[in-house]
Structure 1
Amino acid sequence: MRSILTLLLLLLIALSAQAEVKQLDNAQLETLLAEGVPVVDIRRAEEWKQTGVVQGSHLITFFDAAGNYDARAWLTQLAPIAGKDDPVILICRTGNRTGIISQFLDQQVGFSRVYNVTKGITDWIARGYPVIAPE
């Protein structure tokens, strides 16, 4: 939890003139998926197994169960999927963690086309959208 708070504090301090993170609902997510925009599910493996994942999602855990993270390692895994000028969608359970990471990508790393699924996979499932078992 302390790591999450530290990251939040850094984000608030570093607000700069980067592109704004775009907040998505399920209909917008479905549209961007159809356009081929990559989705990165940042949850942990046990969470993927519990709910399933959006088909085609790239499964790259950001925070461990204790709230710790290795941003550099995560960015290395993200690099083949999306660069700073490429669109990328982030999804987690409810949109809280991806809200933090979206701001990090926008404000600290300089990504210009970050989309955050505001209500996460739980709302996607609740509204009857399909999920698959993680690979």
Structure 2
Amino acid sequence: MKLAMMRLALVAALAAAAPALRAGEAVEEALTVEQMQASGALVVDIRTPEEWAETGVIDGAKLVTFTDADSFLAAIGPEIADGRDLVLVCRSGRRSGIAAEALAEVIPNRVISQQGGMVGLVAGGYSPVPPG
């Protein structure tokens, strides 16, 4: 775990020193849950525990509230070290868009903000599962 944290710190330091070479890409897409799961991306619900309990979550999504890039990367860094895409889901897509932009500045991964968030997924017919 300590080695993974050191590696994550190194990636962040490199990204800060040379953002044009290390920056990832932040995009907004309206994916279905099936597309998210089939893509091999790491799906992360960045809402609060209260929101997860209120509306449910995407089956198989990692639940990590986004407060800032550093603490978020400390929680998920090892899982995206292989360069795979990261899909962020919030309530409506606003917070995930902000988080995607912040993360794409410090990691080389493609970061996808789920357009419409959980509200859009539910409106499209997805039935969330209880957290936990």
TM range (shorter): 0.7 to 0.9
Corresponding letter in the other structure for 2:40: G
Which ranges in structure 2 are unaligned for 5 or more consecutive residues? 1-18
Corresponding letter in the other structure for 2:30: D
Quote the residue 1:97 is aligned against: 95
Quote the residue 1:131 is aligned against: 128
Corresponding letter in the other structure for 1:51: T
Corresponding letter in the other structure for 1:87: D
TM-score (norm 1): 0.74
CA distance in 2, matches of 1:120, 1:36: 19
TM-score (norm 2): 0.75
CA distance in 2, matches of 1:58, 1:23: 19
* Structure-to-structure mapping, 1:35-74, within 5 angstroms: 35-62=39-66, 69-74=67-72
Which ranges in structure 1 are unaligned for 5 or more consecutive residues? 1-15, 63-68
Q: How many residues are aligned here?
A: 112
RMSD: 1.8
Pick one of 26, 30, 40 that aligns with 1:21: 26
CA distance in 2, matches of 1:101, 1:47: 17
Shift in CA distance, 95/119, structure 1 to aligned 2, threshold 3 Å: same
CA distance in 1, matches of 2:24, 2:118: 25
CA distance in 2, matches of 1:26, 1:35: 10
CA distance in 2, matches of 1:34, 1:133: 21
Identity over aligned pairs, percent: 36
CA distance in 2, matches of 1:102, 1:111: 12
Q: Which has the higher helix share?
A: 2
